[in-house]
Structure 1
Amino acid sequence: MFGRLAGVAMPAGDEGAQIHPDVAPAQGDIILTKRGVSAFAGSDLDVVLRAGGIEHLVLTGIATSGVVLSTLRQAADLDLARTVLADGCLDNDPEVRRVLAEKVFPVQADVTTVADWAAATTAAL
């Protein structure tokens, strides 16, 4: 999927390597560099989550059949709780996204919408 980017190094100062201001990390946030399809591959994500006592992932993404699926499967192997926000996922093939959200993801995660998750999270506070 990302084969055409293999070996391509983007200089740290390059505009394309910058974090967009709308999602800029706050003071003290941890920044990890994703190096594989799964968010866990080649990163310290598992260590950071465990050190922070985080046991539940909420997944969204623009590559449902790649990043979201791979990260979900690895999170399951690591015994982390999982929620997928179906309408927060996108794929090049809408039918693939639909099948994953409706048939594959529910086997390994709670699947909900952004609005329902936000309402439940707000109610829990």
Structure 2
Amino acid sequence: MKNAALLVMDVQHGIVSRVPDADYLPRLTRALDAARTAGVPVMHVVIGFRSGHPETTDRNKAFGALPPGAFTAEDPGAAIHPDVEPRPEEVVITKRRVSAFAGSDLELVLRARGIDHLILTGIATSGVVLSTLRQAADLDYRLTVLADGCVDPDPEVHRVLTEKVFPRQADVVTVDEWASALA
């Protein structure tokens, strides 16, 4: 896939621990293996804050309610899950809000590498995947969502997003369909 990158978003210990789908990480690992074999760059996007959370405010319902120290360098829950551990050549982007673009240098890294097609995966479908998809579409990126490479705490929300909302702005396929197309 020319000018494409696989984004693996918010697959961190403190977030993966809330995923009830035991098959999620093995599916995501298949996507990573397919991308790496095909030479598609893999980028990891994580939520991260400085000590004391100076980037957050109590006006933000999601991030203002985080316990002190959550998703900081000292928090073991902020680490990328070992099943999808980045290789040394893979970029790790730290974001400060829900979208992978918000408070990060993602767009700069993508432009520098000539990437114009994003393949989206991550936790949660209704969070980072939705927010990143919307912003990326507004920035004119070509988009593919790996439907089963995303997961959400609410299966019905995941279904509606992947079957009805995302197809308006992205190609939506399974990990196996995408991996087969790369082979």
TM-superposed deviation, 1:88? 1.3
Percent pairwise identity: 67
Report the more deviating stretch, 85-94 or 22-31: 22-31
Q: State yes or no: 1:121 paired with 2:172.
A: no
Q: How many residues align?
A: 122
Assess, with a 3 A threshold, how the Cα gap between structure 1 residues 118 and 10 changes in structure 2: closer, same or farther.
closer
Letter in 1 for 2:91: I
Matches within 5 A, 1:11-90: 11-90=72-151
More helix as a share of residues: 1
TM-superposed deviation, 1:43? 0.1
TM-superposed deviation, 1:47? 0.6
3-state SS of paired residue (1:47): helix
* Structure 2 match to 1:103: 164
Mark the runs of 5 or more structure 1 residues left unpaired by the alignment: none
Hey, what's the Cα distance between the residues in 2 that align with 1:105 and 1:5? 29
Hey, what's the Cα distance between the residues in 2 that align with 1:95 and 1:108? 20
Mark the runs of 5 or more structure 2 residues left unpaired by the alignment: 1-60
TM-superposed deviation, 1:106? 0.2
* Bigger relative CO (Cα 8 Å, ≥ 6 apart): 2
Hey, what's the Cα distance between the residues in 2 that align with 1:120 and 1:16? 34
Letter in 1 for 2:119: V
TM-superposed deviation, 1:7? 6.3
TM-superposed deviation, 1:91? 1.1
Assess, with a 3 A threshold, how the Cα gap between structure 1 residues 7 and 70 changes in structure 2: closer, same or farther.
farther
TM-superposed deviation, 1:6? 7.4
More strand as a share of residues: 2
TM-score w.r.t. length of structure 2: 0.60
TM-superposed deviation, 1:25? 2.5
TM-score w.r.t. length of structure 1: 0.86
